[in-house]
Structure formats: structure tokens, C-alpha cells
Structure 1
Amino acid sequence: MAADLPRVDPDVAIAAIRDARPPVTDRFTYLTIIEANLSREVLPALNEILQDAELTQEIGWDLVFNLANLPDSEACLETIARLGNPREVILKVLEALELLDADVAQSEDEDAPATVLPQVVPKDKKFIALLGMLSILHHRIKTKYPSRFLAQTLRTVFHTYAPTQEATAAVVNLIHNLSGRRRPALPSRKSSINVANPDQDGDALKNAPDPEAEGKDGTDPSEVAMQHKLLLSFALCILETYTSSNDMAWAARMYEFYNSEKLVPGRRTLMAAFREEQSLLERDGIVGRLVALIKDLGLDSYSQKFFADITGNAIVKDPLSTTDDAAGPDDVALPTGGCISLIAYWVFSAAIFDADQPTPEINVLPGHFALLEKILEDDPQGQIQQFSGTCEALVAIGLWLHANGRTSATPYEPETNSTASEDEPTSEFMQYLHLLTLVALYHPRLQVRNAATVLAGQIFHADPSEEDKLRILYDLIENCTFASLKACAITWLREEIIDASKTPPSSGTAMDTTNRSGVFAGPQAFDTLQYVIFPDLNHLSEFGVDEFFEFFGPNVAFLLQAINFAVFLWSSAKWRNVIPANAEATVQERWFRPLWLAVDKVKMAIKHGADVEGEGMEYLLGEMDVLWERIMRLGKTEEFKAAGEIDRA
């Protein structure tokens, strides 16, 4: 308690609450006496007094809030849950849950009145104690429709849930206790989390009967099904919230698993971190326990109906808020994000842990595309930021689908027209890549952005139509406003050219690349894309230092990848067959020369004292030096230098 508040002698306080018990005083007077003398030291005596079931039914519900705010009060709260009027106590417990955030805000308010008691019990600890009470209380209520009480409880718990390890473990206990105990309690593998679970660990024989019990006890099959559906929806809501708030690294770990040859030797991987760090082990363990409970509640296999419900209906964000009007289990919706997170865990644990899990019978196209489209159909940037865990789950699912050869459900039929055209209808591959690259741009976690970028490249290369690939590259480089994605497109182009050189020739046995056919084996790809990769930059001659960096900053990633592509093409005779005749001279005139001169002009200005201070300028100057070095590597700068000397004069 606050240091400036008078403390009551514990012996005096204990005597007061013992001597004032009804009928010596009325109920309201006795509650006032208890509140005035309440402290940690009197709790054992108070718990003895509360063993009087008749008294606790009268006053127990009114003690919940004060006891929840007092350390070491768990025994008293458990007694109230076992002996108090369960309907009244549940209402007080839910009210105390709703006030948790208000308690935290009050305790952090420096201007709060001096008479306000400090909140010495952490929010998580209160939450755990109150959930322990709810487990006991729901078992005590005997009514024809217990789902009505359950719906309100689950809604309140979800809305006050903070996705910490301990709070989530308490929620797991609650689901396990209320689901009918269909399996033994599931300890988290290698977990140190151990939260109180009085319903499981206590003595249920001490429970008082429900004083308002009805003739039936809710064992009707339809009522049982309703309760299980409510718990299933609740568990999926918790799964979605927990995986969105705690970085599970599903996508990043899937990438490491499938691309181990690309990992940097000696650098600890995320796979290793999640094996070795206790807090990360606990994350996996908590999710595993949630998924096991979801399985017990009936969602233990993938079905076409399950997938159709996810993709065919509107996005369900908070199904528990609409359960009051539910007439039966079919009226209780499942959260869209929670279902997607469940699928992601299935494929993740099947791949990483070799677990026996259901796997989705879908392909990237059209199944995974439908999931992406559903989540990102309105305000993609806002959706990605708000539902980051769901979007990471989608990337993890996509990586698994690609790794298992599930790209498209539609057999490829070659186009009769082999010429790429802007009038061609947008392919599913192009639409899919558009959505996936939005995740690569806007996701708040770098590792997810990187995994989404890798997946986008994999799906691009899996497109069986070379003409479609060319259309995708042209559209991305021409119309995308983000330099990083345009740079990715150039990387994909280079990889296609390399792959085309490895592909056996279409006829004969000669291995000379000049004999190969296909869009990327010859000059067609470069001819189509050269003006969007290497556009006319002669306007740079009019730029001063500030204007140059205004242009260079947003485009640096694309410019560097373009110059890398140029070095790749022109530094080896191997790729001469993919460059159209006279392309080198025209690209040199419209792109290399004006870019080199612009950089040379800026370097000279800086040498003579031009001000280039500002946020991010150190990085841009470094990237400009890299660009300069790459142009010089081409060995085509003698005329650039001559032109530069003229400009300087």
C-alpha cells in the first residue's frame, strides 16, 4: 500500500473481520469492515472465514475486485469461485477483467490522487487469477444453455487478453478446462512457463452446488456442439493474436529450411535460435498447445469446405462479438486470420518438425492466390500492417507450396502468339505476384519482407510461359514506383537468361548458346525491356547537386541493379547472343554516358565544397561511389571522361 496511508495492526484487523461476521453486522457493514482491514497479512484468516459457504454466497462476489488487486490473494479468490454464487461471481470476474487496462492506466498516472492505492499486482497475474476462477465457475453453473454464459466469458477474455507467454498459458488452461478435458493437460515442451490452474489442480469436491440450478445441465448434444464451436472460434482468435504479436519467424525459418545452401556459414540461424533460446522455445510450445486444443475441438483435418469458408465469405475479424444471435454451432464463425495461421502452423510443423499434420490440398494458383486476395482486397498496406501475423502465415504457406511443387492446378497450354503484348489479359501469375510484392514492400518485419521477395522470385520462375514472364517484367519495371521491386525484376531477368543458357537446345545436340531458342535465350527479352531498364537519362545534365540526390535517393536500388545487369551482360562474351545489334551503342548514349557525367559532376561539386549534409546522405554517397565503380568496370568510359572534361571547362 502507499507509504502515506495508515496501516492497521494485522492482529487487530483479523479480530475485526472475525468478530463482525453476520449476524453481528449486516452484509453491507461487514463488507465495509473487510475492505477497511484488508491486507496481505489477513488473507489466511479471511480465507478461513470464507469457508462458510452461506456467507461466501452472500458476500463473495463483492470481494473479487479488491482481492484481485491484492498480492497473494489467489487462495481467497479460489474459495470464492468454489463457494460463491457462480452467476454473480462470474459477472464480477468479467467486470474485473474489463477494468484491467483501466487499472494499468491509473497506476501509471503520475497525477492520480494520493489516496489511490498503487496497483502492486501485475496485469498478467490478475488475468491469470481471474481466468482460474472462470474455469471453476463455469463447471459449477447448471443450466440448460451454458453456452450463453460461455459466449460472454470468451468475448470478455479475448478483448482483455494481452498476448504474453503467461497470459496465453492461462488461456490455454481455460480452453483445456472448459472443453471437457478430452486429453491430459499438455505441458509446453522444454517450457519454464507454469501458471496457476486451480480448476485442474484443486479439489472439485469442495465446489458448492449452483443455488439457481435448472432441471437440465446442458448436456444436450446440440448445446455441447455449440460450446465446442465457441471454444474453437475463441482458440483461433487467440492463435491469430498471439502469432501476430510474437514474432514466430515462420516464413524466415521456412526459407532457411528450404535454402540452407544460401545461408552464411558461421552465422547463427533462426532455426538454431528457436532450438536454443528458452523464450523462443516457449513461443513454439505455446502455439503447439493451442493447435492441439484446436484439434481436440474438432478442427483436425483440412477440408474443401474449410477452405471455401475462408475464401468465400467476408473476412471475419472478431467472431465472438456476434455470437449473441447465434442459434446453433453453424452460426458461430471462425476468424479468417486464425484459420490462415492454423494452416501455416500445419505446414510449418510438418516441414520443420516432421510432425504428422493435415496439409492443405491447394496450389499457389488458384488456392493461395485466393487467400492473398481475400486478405489484401481492400487497403493492402493497412491490412498488411494490421494483420502482420496473418500475412507472414501466408508467406510461410506459399513457401511450403512451392517447395512441394504445388504451383498451378491448371495444366500449361503454350500460347499461339509468341509475342508479348501490352494488350494481353493480365495472367494469374501477374496478379498473384502483384499481391505478394505488396507484402514484400509493406510488412513491418524485414525477415518476412525478404521471404516474400524470395517467394515472388520462385513463383515468377515457375511460370511456364516465357511470354507471360516477359509481360510481368515489363509491367513491373515500367509501372512500379518502388525501386526495390524494379531491382528484383532485373534480378529475375538475369536469372532467366542464365537458366536459358543451361536448358538443352530445342533441336540438335550442340551446346552453343547461339543455337538456343526462347525469349530469354536470344535478344527478344533485352530488346523488349531495354528502354525501361535503361531509359533516357540525358535530363540529368540539367540537375544540380540537390536535384541529383532527389532523383538518386528513391532510385538508387534500381540504378545499382541496372548497372550490375550491364556489367553482367557486357563483361563476358558469353551473353553477346542475348544483346541486339547496336544495343550497346544506343544504351551507352542514352543511359551510361549521362549517368556517368551526372555522377562526375556531383563528385566535382563535392570536391569543391558543395554542401551534402543531411539525413541519409552518408549512405547515398557510398552508393554513388559503388555506381561510379561499376560504370568504370565496363571499360567504356574514355569518351565519358573526355566529355566530362569539356563540361568542367
Structure 2
Amino acid sequence: MAADLPKPDPAAAIAAIRDARPPATDRFTYLTILEANLCVEVLPALNEILQDAELTQEIGWDLVFNLVNLPGSETCLETIARLGNPREVILKVLETLELLHIDSQNGDDGEEPPTAASVTKETKFITLLGMLAILHKRIKTRYPSRFLAQTLQTVHNTYLPNQSMTASVINLVHSLSGRRRPALPSRKSSINVANPDQDGDASKNAPDPEADKEDGEDPAENAMQQKLLLSFATCILEIYTSAHDLAWAARLLEFYIPERLVPRRQTLMAAFREEQELLERDAIVGQLVALITDLGLSSYTTGFLKKLTDGPISNNPLSVESPRGPDGIALSTGGCISLIAYWVFSATIFDANQQPRPQINLFPEHLALLEKFLSDDPETQIDKSLGTIEALVTIGLWLQSNDRIYAAPSTTPVGKPKSTDDSTSDFMKYVHLTTLIALYHPRIHVRNAASTLAGLVLHADPSEEDRLRILYDLLENCMFASLKAQAITWLRKEIIAASASKTPAQQPASSPEADTITPPTPTASIFTTSQAIETVQYVVFPNLNSLRTQDAAELVEFLGQNTPFVLQAVNFGLFLWGGAGKWAHVLPDNADATVKERWLEPLVDALDRVQKSIEGGELEGEELGSLRFDLDVLGERLRRLEIAEGFKAAETT
């Protein structure tokens, strides 16, 4: 109904639509009269008129758009769905859904507060999907999948991943699949949406006036329709998990490494148990996974996994026209990955023992999935697939925690060069890809989880030489200071872990009152000898003498770009030289003097000049921003390193 039309007088409007009903007027005239007199007050009378199945078959489809924009019209629309010509009404419903989609693309998202004279897009969507559930059951044709494919594609295009619209989609698929589960909401959710197909009276449905005269559906139709619905459900799961922060990876980390939790701060595990919005997210995902299970995807098969690892990424499989049989209908790649992530996550966090476990390993299957999504323009791919990427991290954490590294040893072990022409190991590829997630994913807890996964997989590499090569590659070639800083952290952990892993017989004697284990004397491990530091010292502590010729503004730019890396290098220096010779056995000869001259002294000089420029007013506070705090921390650490025992010894030498 046009927004600028005057509101009709209710009594006169009711009289007009009753008096003018055919045969008093022809169909087209009557539709014009209905449109002119539509208002909330006439809806009960209109619903009575629409009980005339013959009339509703003639005009019902043409009322859909105007009625769906009118508050309280759900009963009339249900009547049209039950009595109107199902083929024509379906087309009108899909057209109306597409108009909603166009409005959303134009910026009209329907989020304004509803009034008595308005209907939100969410309500319209739910009402129209309720009609579709009824209409599709009424169509009697030899090839109903042709109608279903168009409907699912349109719903997919117009769906917005909020809770109510997702619940409506779940109701639709339940109705069309013929499977009945307990209606939403679950006991943990406050979501409740109309479901006229389930709650209404199907005995009121009129027969299809254009029913095919042939005997029943084509025998292959049931499989076609089930595969279409399964494909659609995986698409919805992908959209929902990318739109909502489900914190799967972060919650797994809280479960696997509880000692990292911050005291007196609410954990994500607790938040998802206590906050209603988060409870609803888990409940909706659980409903989607249950729906996918009902549709036949309840376990891992060789074909399912092979399509994920070897096949192309399928973002919108419903857009394929005229698929040749059920096998020609693909599933959403991101949706399937999210499904696997939910299976392993719920099996761990919810102790859902009935959930299947993937028969895959980090190498080669999980690496293949990472390469599929991250090898080409990773920043864009991550931004387009937030939920899928977090799902990949979740699966990786589960595989690593369950020691699913690789299927079986081979003549060329994973982690070592495959040939003289290929020095990039699978472990190096894996760490590289997971650090890209740690760099580009917008959700901080996903970045942290990806960084943790990269470090765990690095440490699982059976080849020490390969681990050191990966660290060197990150430190030399990575352009991002935060990742180079992380590489230094991993290097430090490798040194500590190598020392702690020695048997008691290899441990040197320590005093009874010592509260820590004295590091072992050098052994065959490259991380307990000077080999590791000798390899990386010029990329951890690069020559910074060029800073001496830069002015204050240039120094601020350098520090702003490199502070995370520089600060972590200073911390590493304190680790190596600040313990009264505790780690002397891992230091190359004269490393202290070399690092002091080419790295520490230029850095101290640069920071002093920046501080003087700040004090002298040459640099404004706004130019420094958050860097001011980092510079204070860096200055304090540098002062501690300057007086460390190792460097004091270098001065006397």
C-alpha cells in the first residue's frame, strides 16, 4: 500500500470490500478496491472473504506484497498460502523477499523502532517463510526440486543472520524435509518465531489446481530435495558463524590451558554459560547442526573429507543451475568446516560424546584446508570468512591437543626438506599460514588462538633444524613487527624447553637451596648450545647504526613501526644476559660485545634523542599517541639491559 494514500474510514472500507467482491465486480476492479481500502481494521473481514478458495486462487497472489507490509496481516497471508494458487503465490512471495533484499542493499536495514503502522523486515521475512513452508507442500508436480531450488536461493540471498530469522529458516527446513524436531526455542533460548505450517491446520489446505496429471514425483526427486536442503543448511551455518563471535577457539584454549586464565576476570566459558545473548548463539548453532544431522550429514566419510581438502571452495552452491542429480549439488565449504569445528568443540567443551571425531590430521588434511583459504590474498579471504577461519583454528587446536599431527612416518618425515629443491617443510607452511590468521583476523581472541596454535605446531616439529629454520625465516623475512616479536618468544621457549627436557643424569649439580633448576651444560641439542643464537643473532639484534643519522621524527616513525619487535628483542636480551651467566652456554663467543656495539648502543642513543625532543617540545604528544607509553617501557628495559651482568662483562673486556 502506498505510504502517501490517506487512511480509509474502517467501517466504509469493510463495507466496500464486502460489497464489491466478485461477481459484483471483476477481479481487476476488486483488487483495486482492496488496495484502496486496506488497513489494519479491515483484516478480519478480509480473512473471511479469503475463505472463498476460488476467489483466493484468483487474487490471493496479488495481495501478498501489500499485506506483508501491514501489521497483523499474518492470518490473511496464511489463508492465502493455504487456499491460493501455490505456484503463483510462491512466485509473489519470492519477489517480495527479493524486494526486501534490495531495500537492505540500499541501506534500509529495517532496524528503526517499529510502530503500530510499520512492520520490520525481520517480521516480514518470518511471515513469508511461514507461507513458503505451507506452499511447497501443496505443489504437486513431477519435479518439485525446481521450485525448491529457486526458493532456497532467494531465501539464502535475503537471509540476515540474526536469531529470529535463523530460527525461521530452521523451521522452514524442518517443514520441507518432513522431519520433526522440538520446536524452537530450546530451554536455553528466548527465541520464538511463528511456524504456521507446524502450528496450523493442514486440513484447510486447498489442492493444487495445476497439479501434474502424471503419476507422482520422479523417483529421484526425494534425494534431490534432501540434498538441496542440506546444501542450504550448510550455507546458513557458514553465514551465521561468520556473522557471530562464537569464541570456539578461545574457549578450547581455556579448556586446554587453564593456567593462562587471568584471575578475577570472567572467562569466555563462563560468559557463554551465563549471558543470554551468548547462550542463544550456542543454541542456534546447535539447532543448525542438528538440522544438518537430520538431513543426512552426521559423520565423516572419505568422499566428504576429500571434497573439502581437494575440491574448490564452494561459497554459494545453490546458485548452480540445473544440477545433474544429487551428486551435482555441492555443500558450502565454509559451512562444512564450521560443522567439523562444532563437532570437535562440543565433544570437548560440552562432553558431547555422540559427536563424530574427524579422521584427519594436521598433515596433510588440515594444512590443505589452510592453504585452500589462505594461499591467495589471505587478508581478503580472512575478512570474507571470519567464522570459517576461526573454525579452522578450532579444528587445528583439537588436532594438536589430540596428537593428530600426521598419519604415519614416511621416508621423508614431515618437518624435513622433501628435496634439495624444496626446503620449505610442511611445518614451515603451517606456521606461516596460522601466523597470517594471527595477523589479519579482526577478533583478538582468534588472533591469540592462532598464534598459540602456530607455536604449539612449531614445537611439535620433530626436526630441531627445521624449527630453527622456521624461526629464522620469520625473523628475516616477515615485515610485521608483531609476528617477529612472536618468533622471539617461540625461540626463548625452545631454549627453555630443550634445557628442561634433559634427563637428571645430564643435569649439572645445583645447590639444595636453589629454587630453580640450573640450566644444563651444552648438549647435542642446537637449542642448548650456541648454534641457535649464532644462527639468528643478526636478525634478532640487527645492525641499528643507521639510526644515528636519523632525526627525531624519523626515529619516531621507526619505533612506531617496530616497537613490538624491538621490545621483545630487549626482553630476550635480558633473558640471555640478565641472569648472571645462567644462559651463557647458549651464547656465541663475543656475542655480548657485538650486540652491544651494533644494536644496543644505537638503540639507546635513538631513544635518548627522541625523549629529549619530546621534553624540548619538538614532538607533540598527538604525534606520539599510544607510542609514548611503549617508549617509557622500552626505556626502562634498555636501562636494565645496559647494566646486565653480561654486558658489564663486555665493557671490562
TM-score by length of 2: 0.92
- Once residues 149 and 502 of structure 1 are traced to their aligned partners in structure 2, the CA distance between those partners, rounded to angstroms, is 66
Structure 1 position 321, deviation (Å):
0.5
Partner of 2:66: 66
* Cα drift, residue 411 of structure 1: 2.5
Aligned residue runs from structure 1 range 227-242, under 5 A: 227-242=225-240
Structure 1 residue 52 and structure 2 residue 52: aligned?
A: yes
Runs of 4+ in 1 over 6 A off after TM superposition: 1-4, 412-415, 421-424, 637-641
Deviation at 1:412, TM superposition (A): 7.7
2-structure distance, mates of 1:423, 1:107 = 53
Confirm or deny: 8 A CA contact 2:21 2:30 kept in the other structure: yes
Q: Percent identity?
A: 65
Aligned pairs (5 A) from 1:14-93: 14-93=14-93
Q: Which moved more, 1:39-48 or 1:306-315?
A: 306-315
Shift of 1:434: 0.9
1:65-86 Cα distance to aligned partner (Å, 9 max, x none): 0001101000000000000000
- Distance in structure 1 (CA, Å) of the matches to 2:330 and 2:273: 35
Report Cα offsets for 1:336-357 as digits up to 9, x if no partner.
Answer: 1111111111111111111121
Closer, same or farther: CA 94–118 of 1 in aligned 2, 3 Å: farther
For the residues of structure 1 that align with 2:630 and 2:420, how far apart are their CA atoms?
A: 34
Cα deviations across residues 69-114 of structure 1 (Å, max 9, x unaligned)?
10100000000000000000000000000001344578959xxxxx
C-alpha distance in 2 between matches for 1:384 and 1:508 = 47
The code of the aligned residue for 1:47 comes to N
Closer, same or farther: CA 505–260 of 1 in aligned 2, 3 Å: closer
User: Is the Cα–Cα contact under 8 Å of residues 412 and 464 in structure 1 kept in the other structure?
Assistant: no
CA distance in 1, matches of 2:196, 2:207: 18
Provide the rounded CA distance (Å) in 2 between the counterparts of 1:485 and 1:249.
22
Q: Residues 163 and 280 of structure 2 are in contact (CA less than 8 Å); yes or no, is this contact kept in structure 1?
A: yes
Q: Which residue of 1 aligns with 2:586?
A: 578
Does structure 1 conserve the Cα–Cα contact (< 8 Å) formed by 2:399 and 2:405? yes
- Residues 478, 263 of structure 1: alpha-carbon distance in 2 compared, 3 angstrom cutoff: same
The reply to whether residue 539 of structure 1 matches residue 546 of structure 2 is: yes
Distance 1:366 1:91 in 2: 47
Structure 1 residues 217 and 280, CA gap change in structure 2 (3 angstroms):
farther
Equivalent residue number for residue 148 of structure 1: 146
How far is 1:119 from its partner?
A: 8.0
Alignment of 1:597 with 2:605, yes or no, is yes
Matched pairs, number: 630
Give the one of 324, 333, 336 matched to 2:333. Answer: 336
8 Å Cα contact 1:341-1:390 kept in structure 2: yes
Instruction: Please tell me whether the aligned partners of residues 374 and 433 of structure 2 are also in contact (alpha carbons under 8 angstroms).
Output: yes
Q: Is the 8 A contact 2:167 2:184 kept in 1?
A: no
Tell me the residue number matched to 2:97: 97
Instruction: Mark the CA change 1:216 to 1:504 in structure 2 (over 3 Å): closer, same or farther.
Output: farther
CA distance, structure 1, for counterparts of residue 58 and residue 566 of structure 2: 77
Bigger Cα displacement from structure 2, 621-630 vs 4-13: 4-13
In the alignment, the residues of structure 1 paired with residue 495 and residue 538 of structure 2 have an alpha-carbon distance, to the nearest angstrom, of: 18
Deviations along 1:11-55, whole A, 9 cap, x unmatched? 110010001010000000000101000000100110011000011
- CA deviation after TM superposition for structure 1 residue 327, in Å: 2.1
**Cross-structure match for 1:549:** 556
- Contact map agreement 1:145 1:218 (CA 8 A) in 2: no
Distance of aligned partners of 1:395 and 1:3 in 2 relative to their CA distance in 1, 3 Å threshold: closer
Q: CA deviation at 1:640?
A: 11
CA distance in 2, matches of 1:525, 1:105: 55
Matched, 1:608 2:610: no
Q: Is the 8 A contact 2:14 2:45 kept in 1?
A: yes
Rounded Cα–Cα distance in structure 2 between residues aligned with 1:314 and 1:496: 37
Unaligned segments of structure 2, at least 5 residues: 110-114, 510-518, 649-653
Map Cα deviations across residues 189-226 of structure 1 (whole Å, 9 max, x no partner): 41111100000000000000001112457555421010
Q: What residue is the counterpart of 2:312 in the other structure?
A: 314
CA contact 1:2–1:118 (8 Å) conserved in 2: no
Q: Does 1:620 align with 2:627?
A: yes
Moved more, 76-85 or 509-518: 509-518
Please give the alpha-carbon distance, in whole angstroms, between the structure 2 residues aligned to 1:402 and 1:395: 10
1:647 is matched with: none
Task: Choose the corresponding residue for 1:465, options 459, 463, 466.
Answer: 463
The answer (yes or no) to whether the contact 2:242–2:385 under 8 Å persists in 1 is yes
Q: Are the structure 2 counterparts of residues 289 and 221 from structure 1 closer, same or farther at C-alpha, using a change threshold of 3 Å?
A: farther
Q: Which amino acid aligns with 1:99?
A: L
Quick one: distance in 2 between partners of 1:145 and 1:253? 46
Deviations 1:157-185 (A, max 9, x none): 00111111110000000000000125454
Query: Secondary structure of the residue that 2:489 maps to in structure 1?
Result: helix
1:353 aligned residue = 350
CA contact (8 A) 2:506 2:520 kept: no
Structure 1 pair 506/272, CA: closer, same or farther in 2 (3 Å)? closer
Q: Partners in 1 of 2:602 and 2:382 — Cα distance? A: 39
Q: Residues 60 and 89 of structure 1 are in contact (CA less than 8 Å); yes or no, is this contact kept in structure 2? A: yes
The within-5 A match list for 1:210-229 is 210-216=208-214, 219-229=217-227
**1: CA distance between counterparts of 2:508 and 2:411?**
27
> In the alignment, is the contact (CA less than 8 A) between 2:416 and 2:425 conserved in 1?
no
Structure 2 counterpart of 1:271, one-letter code: M
**Are 1:142 and 1:217, in contact at CA under 8 Å, matched by a contact in 2?**
no
**Contact 1:254 1:399 (8 Å CA) reproduced:** yes
Tell me if the contact between 2:508 and 2:521 (Cα under 8 Å) persists in the aligned partners: no
8 Å CA contact retained: 1:233, 1:335: yes
Distance in 1 (CA, whole Å) between partners of 2:590 and 2:442 is 45
Q: Distance in 2 between matches of 1:210 and 1:394?
A: 46
Cα gap change, 1:423 to 1:613, in 2 (>3 Å): farther
| Separation in structure 1 between the aligned mates of residue 160 and residue 117 of structure 2, nearest angstrom | 17
Q: Could you tell me how far 1:129 is from its partner in structure 2? A: 0.2
Q: Cα–Cα, structure 1 residues 318 and 108, in superposed 2: closer, same or farther, change >3 Å?
A: closer
> How do 1:97-496 and structure 2 match up within 5 A?
97-103=97-103, 120-185=118-183, 187-216=185-214, 219-322=217-320, 324-355=321-352, 356-411=354-409, 425-496=423-494
C-alpha distance after superposition, 1:107-140 (max 9, x if no partner):
959xxxxxxx998110000000000000000000
Aligned to 2:643: 636
Unaligned runs of 5+ in 1: 110-116, 642-649
Q: 1:478 to 1:222 in 2, by over 3 A?
A: same
Distance 1:64 1:618 in 2: 57
**Separation in 2 of the partners of 1:41 and 1:271?**
50
Q: Structure 1 residue 604: deviation in Å?
A: 2.0
One-letter amino acid of the structure 1 residue matched with residue 482 of structure 2: S
Deviation of 1:638 (Å): 12
Q: Does structure 2 conserve the Cα–Cα contact (< 8 Å) formed by 1:597 and 1:640?
A: no
Q: CA separation of 1:152/1:414 partners in 2, compared to 1, >3 Å: closer, same or farther?
A: closer
* Maintained 8 Å contact 2:361/2:405: yes
